[in-house]
Structure 1
Amino acid sequence: MTESMRRRPPFVADERTQLVGWLDLQREIVRWKCEGLTDEEAHRSVIPTSPLMTVGGILSHLRWTEDTWFEVAFLGADPIGRPQFEEGENGAELDLDWQVDEVPLDQLLADYEQACDRSNEIIAAHSLDDVGQQSAWPSGGATLRWMLHHMLEETARHAGHLDLIRELVDGEKGYY
């Protein structure tokens, strides 16, 4: 990916353009951090206390986080059957959205791309002041603006994780 694809949004633009622009920049950084990795490298665990935090695990988690906020929280889709909502005994989180050792990196990237495209379609079709339809959670009634800010925070945080993991996997580093 060329650096020109990783551009900050315009200095002067409307709120939606800037919010989506910053989110898209972070998404591009996530994709960039995956470039050139083998499937083995993408699934290599380098943090002993967090074995699921691999490049592939983060990519899958971000894919499902897009789904959580825009499909489930905002549009009100049923969370049943989605891996990020599966629970074990006594409500323990299973982290199935992170468990992707058998999924090739190319597939994880394609799934992430599709989720981001779908999220952008939802964002484009609604006012930033529209509220989510997921009444089962307090944050499910937040505005689309709030959800966009949250996704920007979530994606940027994990892009930082990818920065460190990538350096530990093969020495590659770079800001953006």
Structure 2
Amino acid sequence: MTPSRTRPPFSADERTQLLGWFDMQRAIVHYKCEGLSDEDAHRAVLPSSPLMTMAGIVSHLRWVEHTWFEVLFLGRPAEGPQFVNEPEDADMRAEGIPLAQLLDEYEKQCGVSDEIIAAHGFDEVGRHPDFASGQASLRWMLIHMIEETARHAGHMDAIRELLDGETGYY
């Protein structure tokens, strides 16, 4: 199910506003992929960034959600393609994986992240002893993930326009 692209209320508590902006950016990721063929989702349009495809970004966003909330915050094992040295940017390598599967995996990972966020206070700090960023507060991690998701949603805006001319914010 595609998340709603609704801005949070102008006047609400911190949790409602931060999660509202996070959910909206996640929804924009889905929106930018609507109606896109698998071929186009895997097509590189930026010569200097061959992995910066729609599929690659969705894969990357799935894995950064996992990294920040499961690994760094909860202290779970550092597992996933983002933790391997070779190939570089392994979390963006989505060759042969259908876009629908990538979006489904991303949506499921967002659900896991949402459960973690709901169960903890913003002032709690991460638990992973091997990474300095694992000592950040949940608030810091959430704000970072809003920034990360929004930045890549912006990349998706440009890529989508280059692929087929589709534009639009939300």
Give the shorter-chain TM-score range.
over 0.9
Inter-partner Cα distance in structure 1 for 2:24 and 2:149? 10
Inter-partner Cα distance in structure 2 for 1:72 and 1:169? 34
* Deviation, structure 1 residue 16: 0.7
Q: TM-score, normalised by structure 2?
A: 0.97
When the two structures are aligned, how many residues end up with a matched partner?
A: 170
Number of the residue aligned with 2:112: 118
Number of the residue aligned with 2:165: 171
Inter-partner Cα distance in structure 2 for 1:50 and 1:122? 33
Residue identity opposite 1:132 in structure 2:
G
2:93 matches 1:99: yes
State the secondary structure of the residue aligned to 1:168.
helix
State the secondary structure of the residue aligned to 1:126.
coil
Inter-partner Cα distance in structure 1 for 2:6 and 2:33? 18
Identity %, equivalent residues: 63
Number of the residue aligned with 1:56: 55
* Deviation, structure 1 residue 135: 1.5
* Deviation, structure 1 residue 101: 1.3
* Deviation, structure 1 residue 12: 1.2
Number of the residue aligned with 1:42: 41
Residue deviations 1:30-58, cap 9 Å, x none?
00000000100100000000000000000
After TM superposition, what 4+ stretches of structure 1 lie above 3 angstroms from structure 2?
none
Pairwise mapping of residues 1-176 of structure 1 onto structure 2 (< 5 A)? Answer: 5-80=4-79, 82-88=80-86, 94-176=88-170
Q: Which runs of 5 or more structure 1 residues have no equivalent in the other structure?
A: none
Inter-partner Cα distance in structure 2 for 1:154 and 1:133? 21
Inter-partner Cα distance in structure 2 for 1:99 and 1:45? 12
Inter-partner Cα distance in structure 2 for 1:7 and 1:140? 30
* Deviation, structure 1 residue 138: 1.3
* Deviation, structure 1 residue 5: 2.3
Q: Which runs of 5 or more structure 2 residues have no equivalent in the other structure?
A: none
State the secondary structure of the residue aligned to 2:75.
coil
Inter-partner Cα distance in structure 1 for 2:53 and 2:142? 25
Residue identity opposite 2:44 in structure 1:
S
